[in-house]
């Protein structure tokens, strides 16, 4: 596999999407006092992770681009759960890419306790000779969901996917605690926003 030319349009897609979504964040800040976007990150999946995913899912190398959706990955992190759905609605209205799948792991969390909203999109990248459509995954989640997922991801790496039962259970409880935190914060959202507005005026 000649990885560099194969990954080039994915790198391009990640860079373009980061610029676009960071621009959206700035626009929200100008238009209203609260931006539903806290921060945006992106990455191209490292080659060893692509190979690992292909191996565990029995994906032949030739099918990698069709069957691995998150070679290009974008993450949008929000303050409140409501903000996630504001972003989803905004993304549905865009015409610079097509949404091919939506996965709501917030109303239907994963068994691990994972919560996040995923959009799989088909994004056109202008190459010199052609327009290449690449698949990309946009993960939208709150700060609390991100905190949990980052820690769980590290433990998964540490235990090579075989997290001991007691740690798994603790993680499931931590996921519920994180969600409870999101719910509690949502209830005082207006007060928090008022305070943040006042703080910004200073």
Catalytic residue positions? Answer: 137
Q: Which is nearer to ligand 0O2, 84 or 149 (CB)?
A: 149
Q: Which is nearer to ligand 0O2, 77 or 118 (CB)?
A: 118
Tell me the two tokens of residue 160: 């090579």
Residue 110 CB, nearest approach to ligand 0O2 (Å) = 5
Is residue 134 within 8 Å of residue 72, measured between CB atoms? Answer: yes
Residue 152 CB, nearest approach to ligand 0O2 (Å) = 4
Which residues contribute to the site for ligand 0O2 (CB under 6 A)?
45, 49, 53, 69-70, 103, 110, 112, 114, 118, 149, 152-153
Alpha-carbon span 36 to 29, nearest angstrom: 9
Residue 45 CB, nearest approach to ligand 0O2 (Å) = 5
Residue 142 CB, nearest approach to ligand 0O2 (Å) = 14
Distance of CA 108 to the CA centre of its chain: 16
Q: Which is nearer to ligand 0O2, 23 or 161 (CB)?
A: 161
Is residue 137 within 8 Å of residue 152, measured between CB atoms? Answer: no
Q: C-alpha dihedral over 15, 82, 135, 42, to 10 degrees?
A: 30
Alpha-carbon span 20 to 54, nearest angstrom: 30
Q: Which is nearer to ligand 0O2, 81 or 171 (CB)?
A: 171
- Strands across the sheet containing 72-78: 39-44, 72-78, 131-142, 117-126, 98-104
């Amino acid at each position: 596999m000649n990885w560099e030319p194969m990954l080039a349009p994915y790198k391009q897609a990640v860079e373009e999407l980061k610029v676009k979504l960071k621009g959206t964040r700035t626009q929200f800040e100008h238009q209203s006092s609260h931006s539903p976007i806290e921060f945006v990150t992106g990455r191209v999946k490292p080659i060893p992770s692509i190979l690992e995913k292909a191996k565990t899912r029995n994906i032949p190398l030739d099918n990698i681009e069709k069957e691995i959706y998150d070679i290009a990955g974008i993450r949008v992190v929000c303050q409140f759960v409501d903000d996630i759905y504001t972003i989803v609605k905004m993304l549905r209205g865009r015409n610079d890419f097509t949404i091919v799948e939506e996965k709501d792991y917030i109303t239907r969390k994963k068994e691990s306790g994972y919560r996040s909203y995923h959009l799989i999109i088909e994004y056109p990248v202008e190459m010199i000779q052609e327009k290449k459509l690449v698949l990309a995954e946009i993960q939208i989640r709150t700060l609390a969901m991100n905190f949990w997922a980052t820690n769980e991801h590290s433990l998964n790496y540490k235990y090579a996917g075989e997290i001991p039962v007691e740690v798994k259970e603790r993680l499931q409880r931590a996921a519920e605690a994180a969600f409870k935190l999101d719910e509690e914060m949502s209830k005082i959202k207006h007060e928090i926003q008022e305070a943040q507005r006042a703080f910004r005026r200073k």
